[in-house]
Amino acid sequence: MKKVILFLSFILVFMNISGQNCNLNENAKRHFYRAIGFAEAASKEEDYQAAVDEYDKALEYAPNCPDIYYNKAVCHEMLCKINTRNCDIAIDCYKKYLQLNPNAADKSEVEGRMYAIEAKKELYEKQKIENEIIKQKFVGTWKLTEFWLNGKFSSSVSDGDIRIISIDANGNMIVDGVLSGTRQHWYGEIRNQDLYFKYYDGSVGEITLLSDNKIGMRLRGQIYNVYRRQ
């Protein structure tokens, strides 16, 4: 069975591209290989939805093709983090694959994959709840009150603000604010209950919750600014 290796976020999955278990007509074949093209070109989770749509179209012409269900399962698995409903669909597709191909050589591997997806779903749902809690703590406008230098308190200030605009279900954030006298716009993500972002010079910054109404910004590992909630 010929397979193509796809990489995304260090996850290695195998997609069946032969269609050898099916007798595909021209319409089914077209959508089957268009789906593979979309999956191969995918650079982020969201891109796999286009492949899923093509596999659904292929199933209209070949509803009993196990290879389509297998590949569709792989794509839904890649979409699990966006919406855990995709984890359930991936498992259902793997089950359908085994139902249509009960003597599959990779039966044990597929069954193991389904258990792994169950664990993924549990973890993603837990992360989503944690991120929602962090979102409530961080999102809002914060006024600059303290300036620190080399990890030591330097002075009290009032010129500057930071506005954490949004944090999505995956922990990605958008921040707008003033840093070093210049208005900045950053993108970042939640890691270990801190907000991480990249500064203009490529260094990594962190926004840490110091108390319910105070956050601290760290650059190069040291506190740089302290803000209070507006």
From-to residues of CATH 2.40.128 in the chain: 139-229
Global pTM value: 0.64
The full 3-state SS of the chain, as one line of letters, equals: CCEEEEEECCEEEEEECCCCCCCCCHHHHHHHHHHHHHHHHCCCHHHHHHHHHHHHHHHHHCCCCHHHHHHHHHHHHHCCCCCCHHHHHHHHHHHHHHHHCCCCCCHHHHHHHHHHHHHHHHHHHHHHHHHHHHHHHHCEEEEEEEEEECCEEEEECCCCEEEEEEECCCCEEEEEEEECCEEEEEEEEEECCEEEEECCCCCEEEEEEEECCEEEEEECCEEEEEEEEC
Identify the pLDDT of residue 11.
Answer: 35
Q: How does pLDDT run across 46-71, given as a tens digit for each residue?
A: 889 999 999 999 999 999 999 999 99
pLDDT band at 76 (very low <50, low <70, confident <90, very high): very high
Q: Regarding predicted confidence, which is higher, 181 or 157?
A: 157
**Average per-residue pLDDT in the chain?**
80
Identify the pLDDT of residue 106.
Answer: 93
pLDDT at position 5 over 50: no
> Which class would CATH give 3-133?
mainly alpha
In CATH terms, 139-229 corresponds, of 1.10.132, 3.40.390, 1.10.357, 2.40.128, to 2.40.128
Q: How does pLDDT run across 90-135, given as a tens digit for each residue?
A: 999 999 999 999 999 999 999 999 999 999 999 999 888 877 777 7
Q: Regarding predicted confidence, which is higher, 148 or 52?
A: 52
From-to residues of CATH 1.25.40.10 in the chain: 3-133
